[in-house]
Amino acid sequence: MFMIMKEKKSQSWYDGAVLKTAFRNALRKFDPRVLSKNFVMFITAAGALMATIALIRDLAAGQPFGFTLQIALWLWFTVFFANFAEALAEGRGKAYADALKEMRVYVNARLLTDKGTEEIVSISELRKGDKVLCEAGDIIPLDGEVIEGIASVDESAITGESAPVIRESGGDRSAVTGGTRVISDGIVIRITVEPGHTFLDRMISMVEGASRQKTPNETALGILLVALTIVFLAVVLSLPAMAGYIEDSARALGFRAEGRISLPILVSLLACLIPTTIGGLLSAVGISGIDRLVRRNVLAVSGRAVEVAGDIDVLMLDKTGTITFGNRMANEFLPAPGVDDLQLAEAAQLASLSDETPEGRSIVVLAKKQFGIRGRHMDADHIVFIPFSASTRMSGVDIAEHDGRPAVSIRKGAAESVAQWVKIRGGTFPQEVEMMVQNVARVGGTPLVVARGKDVLGVIYLKDIVKGGIRERFARLRAMGIRTSGWVTGDNALTAASIAAEAGVDDFMAEATPEMKLARIREEQAAGRLVAMTGDGTNDAPALAQADVGVAMNTGTQAAREAGNMVDLDSNPTKLIEIVEIGKQMLITRGALTTFSFANDVAKCFPIFPAMFAGLFVADGMASGPLSALNIMGLNSPQSAILSTVIFNALVIVALIPLALKGVSYRPAGAASLLKRNILIYGVGGLIAPFMGIKLIDMVINAWRLV
């Protein structure tokens, strides 16, 4: 299944199958109900239909029809090429969606009833809130949260990553996705979605375009195009009356006048004046932008999020699981003065036996690895394990008096909490241990203090590793004008400062609560800045929902994934660079094509208007009138000028399809520099290209004697 997906994802835009499918879909888009959604192309199709009617009339009357036939065909081709651009943009998404549909599994689930029994049910019978048991080899039926146990899960069908991932209860890695497979151990899952609304279903819906909505800028540009089309339609409809009046006036002055505008010429003028280029490619730009995100393993819930990503000013992100790998592992035992290494390791191992967090398990593993300490029996009646709580910030064990041994209490946790616990029992917190805590924090580690009764035994050094290439990527974000100033973490200030220096963020917020994260985002937004937030935990959900662009890590909780408007399947916080670049690329591409289209429309007036009025004010004995001087391009005849312009108008859409699909390349630069580049390349280029293209087509038309 994974290999199938990878094959689909690597499929080229111009693969034969994609082209064939796009061709068929382009023909289907001639349906008036579909065409009406694109007003510019709808008007162009109406003009092509009128030209076709004129052709039939000429055929019936036995009049020459070659010119009218070519005009009608090229107008239909114009509509077809616009449809083809959109269909080609959709083709990649549909191919990927087909691959995702192949991953859908319809298996039975082991439903845990309220009575504590198992019941085999189909997926369709499951409801949000149900609890199901999944063991090694089982397919996870629907999206959910792990509430009991820990297991290795194969998510390659979704992420493309072959290595299994750990999913466990009680942390930021509790979310599981329907359709993935449990590799080892077993977990109890609480279903968080209704059937048909899974993460996989949302992915399929987005990539095939079923739920794609136009972005605000796309909608605004669409309204502008409609307004311009209506204006030019009114202008063109007024031309026959104007030309007739001028013709009558010329004849009254004794000139030979041929100013009547035929229907094919009229619709040709309309098709060339209205913004057909951007009108035909606008939808393709938006679709291809979302597709480029999908190819980078990012699911965008809305096109607006992609667009806004191109304009963000500030990046906020959580440390654990985003900047760092998130699995803080026990790296070293640091005993207090007078305490043996083995003594500290034994106490730390005892305090961690009931700790099912990755940190707790890593302490047990380190004790075994360094000192060969084996696990104890946890069911002894004289042992009471103290679970970790947010209020105490400690865990540990109370061992009652037995076999002549005195009672003892061991605690492991945050330095401040353990220090207070020791002081209550009449002990003191050694200054040497305080220095150890600070030293561990300075190097970016997390210190856990271990105490037995009133004696402080030492420090456990937990190391959280910064992801590779973070500093370089943050530097690139700054080059784009994005401030990485909202780095927030629940760690102490020293740890936060160390990680911030290593990662290269601008500033940070230590010991941050969900309320503090939310307040920081609102503060930035109140200052007129657009904020992007990345996170993976349930505590990040409010901030992800408030941010203009909320990128949730796929490895995170279900709450985080539902709160964000994007999900990064690779769980890489620096993926925001690609997201921003794609957003900027989509905005720049749309702006470039719009500039090129409007410049084209201006340039196309130069060949077509002189051709329309060249027959006016012609004196006896002269081949052409004074208005022929406006033919600055030296086109062979009025008919060839009009036909050349119509052909160029159609072919320019074809020429720009690759640019619309691939996007204009983006390089970090200021707005002024980007604007200058847009005007020089696409503005000036849009003015020059028609002169060259139309002249060349005119030469071909006359060489082949098409008119």
What residues act catalytically? 318
> E strands within 228-357?
298-300, 314-318, 329-335
d(CA 297, CA 662): 17
DSSP summary character for residue 494? H
Instruction: Give the contacts of 248 (CB within 8 A, at least 6 positions apart).
Output: 257
With beta carbons less than 8 A apart as the criterion, state whether 144 and 558 touch. Answer: yes
Q: List the one residue out of 263, 270, 259 whose CA is nearest residue 234.
A: 270
- Give the count of beta carbons closer than 10 Å to the beta carbon of residue 303: 23
d(CA 486, CA 481): 14
**377 token code pair:** 């029996």
Query: What residues pair up with 458 in beta bridges, in sequence order?
Result: 335, 450
With beta carbons less than 8 A apart as the criterion, state whether 202 and 176 touch. Answer: no
Query: What residues pair up with 154 in beta bridges, in sequence order?
Result: 181
- Give the count of beta carbons closer than 10 Å to the beta carbon of residue 584: 23
Query: What residues pair up with 110 in beta bridges, in sequence order?
Result: 120, 133
**248 token code pair:** 């009558």
> Cα dihedral angle (147, 153, 155, 160), rounded to 10 degrees?
140
Please name the residue that has the structure tokens 């305090």: 351
> E strands within 296-373?
298-300, 314-318, 329-335
Residue type, 493: A
Instruction: Give the contacts of 601 (CB within 8 A, at least 6 positions apart).
Output: 272, 273, 274, 275
Q: Give the number of residues written for the chain.
A: 707
Please name the residue that has the structure tokens 């890590």: 553
d(CA 396, CA 392): 11
Q: List the one residue out of 110, 15, 35, 116 whose CA is nearest residue 80.
A: 35
What DSSP string describes 84-150? HHHHHHHHHHHHHHHHHHHH----EEEEE-TTS-EEEEEGGG--TT-EEEEETTPBP-S-EEEEEEE
Q: CA 620 from chain center: how many Å?
A: 68
Whole-angstrom CA distances from 511 to 274, 503, 540 are: 58, 18, 14
Residue type, 106: Y
Q: List the one residue out of 259, 263, 239 whose CA is nearest residue 249.
A: 259
Instruction: Give the contacts of 48 (CB within 8 A, at least 6 positions apart).
Output: 72, 75, 76, 78, 79, 267, 271
d(CA 52, CA 57): 9
d(CA 410, CA 450): 7
**2 token code pair:** 């994974």
With beta carbons less than 8 A apart as the criterion, state whether 685 and 596 touch. Answer: yes
Q: CA 628 from chain center: how many Å?
A: 53
Decide: residue 377, CB within 10 A, 0-12 exposed, 13-18 middle, 19+ buried: exposed
